[in-house]
Amino acid sequence: MTTVSSTTEVATHLANLFKSQPGALFSDFDGTLSPVAPTPDSAVAAPGITETLGRLAERLSLVGIVTGRGVDDAMSRIAAPDLLYVGNHGLEWFENDEHHVHPSGLAAEEGLPEALRDVEQRLQAHTSLAGVIFENKRYSASIHYRLSAEPGKTGEILGPILHEVAKDYGFWVSDGKMVFELRPGASVNKGSAVRHLVAERELRAAAFLGDDVTDADAFIVLRELRDELEIQSCTVGVLTLDTDQRVIDNSDYLLDGVDDVVSMLLELVNLLPDESVARK
């Protein structure tokens, strides 16, 4: 049985965790700060989330959005100042008006359009493309099949095709909620991004909120760092209708959907006084 925590319990734990400084709060976007949407373009941040994240950024050393979306896309949907944006599962970063791209992301940029065309042609030979969305995010790509007539069947056909194409083009495949990701390699993910940030910023406390398989990569790393470096860390899984077991298994706490996330963050704001952190 999956046990859901109260928003107050989670907020209180995080407030105590962030007594160790410097501290950072990281969060996914889709399914965590925004309800899962039928198409990538239709996703909208939950009401009040921009203001709440801004207030948290005034109270914590670092607040970061770590998402599979491109940085520009994520920034346009959240529009909160003073945040770190990590896009394409760790392949690009934006902070303080500076944009950085991982070398493997730059190397993948040229081959992605051709790889996506190859996937599309192979898939079309086996099933209808209706409802399948091919999303080129410049340094990685997503293929969404939630809106196809038979998502289960489409996913079963699409998976092997993607693995074949990935091998041909030197890419790597990961899966999520009715989506496959085509990425430059397994070594760059949300977990590697969090590991880098903990080391670079010399963090003593870190928490991550997320709902999908790619977020579990970050959950696992934070749990490892808890033992390796003895930092204070917390992983908060967000339950939706199709939450993967890997998210549940690697969560310290579970919240019931985006509304609970918003409520918990608002409570956390009120538990963290502005003067409690010397910003780095």
Report the alpha-carbon distance of residue 211 to residue 209 in Å, rounded: 7
Element (H, E) at 233: strand 232-238
Cα atoms found within 13 Å of the Cα of residue 29, Cβ hemisphere only? 30
Which domains does the chain possess? 7-102+188-272 (3.40.50.1000), 106-183 (3.30.70.1020)
Q: In this structure, are residues 48 and 28 in contact, taking their beta carbons and an 8 Å threshold?
A: no
Rounded to whole angstroms, the Cα distance separating 115 from 133 reads 14
3-state secondary structure of 6: coil
Give, for 142, the enclosing helix (H) or strand (E): strand 141-144
pLDDT in tens, 33-70: 999 888 999 999 999 999 999 999 999 999 999 999 99
Counts for the chain of helices (H) and strands (E), in that order: 10, 12
**Token output for 231:** 């930092």
pLDDT class for 172, splitting at 50, 70, 90? very high
pLDDT per residue as tens digits for the range 204-259? 999 999 999 999 999 999 999 998 888 999 999 999 888 899 999 999 999 999 99
pTM of the model: 0.91
Q: Which amino acid is at 19?
A: K
